[in-house]
Structure 1
Amino acid sequence: MTSNDEHPLRPDFEEQDHRENELRPRLLEDFLGQEQIKANLRVFIQAARERQESLDHVFLSGPPGLGKTTLASIIAHEMGADLRVTAAPALEKPKDLAGILTSLQEGTVFFIDEIHRLKSSLEEMLYVAMEDYEIDWVIGQGPSARTLRVPLPRFTLVGATTRPGMVASPLYTRFGIPVRLDYYTQDELAAIIRRTSSILEIAIREEAVLLLADTCRGTPRVANRLVRRMRDFAQILGEGVITGAVVREGMERLNIDQYGLEEQDRQILRAIVEMYQGGPVGAETLAISVGEELDSLEVFYEPFLIQQGLLQRTARGRIATPRAYAVLGLPGDETGEDQRSLF
């Protein structure tokens, strides 16, 4: 069983108690980063409120940990509406979805996470619900069956996904406000780290802020997790202040190296280099080799490795770059490029 401590840089792992919620902003003005998205949402929300209408349906896509769930909550709060939350895997049958839709209040924000995993029969039910605010419900069976059209209140559907390409086109085109969240800049992450430290009431030095911002893979969820862990190290091993020295010690204890790689990152690169002579190797084969789910490999690990110039995706498979050999300390083709160290 994996955990946050085993994979401190995995953006899909969330804290299982109140600690994550206490860091979530409730208003757009408190949501750091994604400036263009915030500016547009502010206009759409204000216009809908002035017309006393529900907000158009919103489609949120992007890598895990960037704030999709938080944005759904903010949208509901800014609209002064209730928030209903579910995930597509929890909706097994049409009656599951129908039960939720018929219980919504006027203006409710209905958030479906992992909407790319919604079954086709449920997608078809949403088509009518999103456009006409009603659903067709079949009563009875066989020749005596009849269809009852049930009206719904005007609600706002917010769908979130890390795999937008897997969402059926007829469903996607029914969202009036498509939003794509991007990885955060170092400056944005630094601001988030300062905010989190303030909320957690832990002092942090600027050197530590920059070291952490450079390690958290452009992802606020990872930034918040690392601040909490560094707070622990500062409390027990330091003087109650997160300093650069505390961060370096903490990263070593968490098995995060000077390039921002955790053990699973290194295992992926070593597998390509040592088992498959640097590649190419297919994604499914690579996932099996490192004991990882294919989806986890493609969504959680590969984007960072590609961004860091350590991995290439080709039509024939995954290939380790010359920089990967250098980072692993293994013989291979050298590019002569500077190997930037975080710590």
Structure 2
Amino acid sequence: MAYAILRAAKLKSMGNIGGSIAHTFRSRDTPNADPERTPQNEHIGPATPEAVKAGIAARLPEKRRSDAVLCIEYFIGASPEAFKDVTLAAKMGNTGGKYFDDALAWLRQRHGAENVISAHIHRDETTPHMVVYVVPRDGEKLNAKKWLGGKEALSKMQTDFAEKVGKKFGLQRGIEGSKATHKTIKEFYGELGQAAQAEVPAITPEDLTPRRMEAQDWSERLGLFRREEDPGMVAARVTSKVGQAVRPALTKLREVQARERQQAGAVARLSKALSELREKFAPFLELTADQFAQLAATARRMVDENRKLAQAQAQAQAQTQAQTQSRGITFSKPRGPRR
């Protein structure tokens, strides 16, 4: 099952905006991007970091709150299964071109084309996706809350995007109300960055020079003979030195990978549960609103009738017991067999 992915990040300062743009244009180190495929990336609108930043600044009102959201960074993509499925990939335009075109049109209608500054399609990472910079201008003021204010607004945004954009390409909305969490790109790179910043010791000419080995007998102690490391010993010593330095970083990377696999497993289980529920309730999903209302009314009527029947049975039983007692008939618990 393939899902439409839509996320939004609030950028509250020009510094935040500059950092995001640097990542978008690969002007800073991006560990998970393939430099050989970076030329395949596509820029719609301003095509340089400076031009994008200037475009955003030009749309900002002169008077604004100090804590106002200056820009919304939208991330639009699809789950990896979408690009692996031949049929879905063809619908989307293989690397997502058609899907991203419709997503950009949806954003322009949502915010106004004049506030959608630029869009950038990344094809140099594992899964193609698009980043769009939008100034949340509402008339003469900034008002990001209008679009991103609270869980209900965000949920409606996800539903609207899935219905108007994702559905056409065979992409479904994520599970509504799910408590699954998403690690932000910033958090992910932060963890990788901490690992990558582990200092790898420099390999010096001295490290590669065979060292004198410890003397083992009197002739070596007197200096008559001298034993040195062979090439294999030198390689083992240097490898050990590097290994001790990078081992903590490798451990951290493995932890990150394990957590990502765990999250992927949780999504797979939720997807399976949703499929089972849809299959179980398939007859009801085909009902119209009127038919569903009639079904609900029938169910309520049956509940009322069952309750009334239970009450009538209880009253009849009580009357029978009362009549029996008035005639002097009592029932005692039968005794067990004599021993």
Question: TM-score of the superposition, structure 1-length normalised?
Answer: 0.24
Larger radius of gyration: 2
Question: TM-score of the superposition, structure 2-length normalised?
Answer: 0.24
Name the structure with the higher helix share: 2
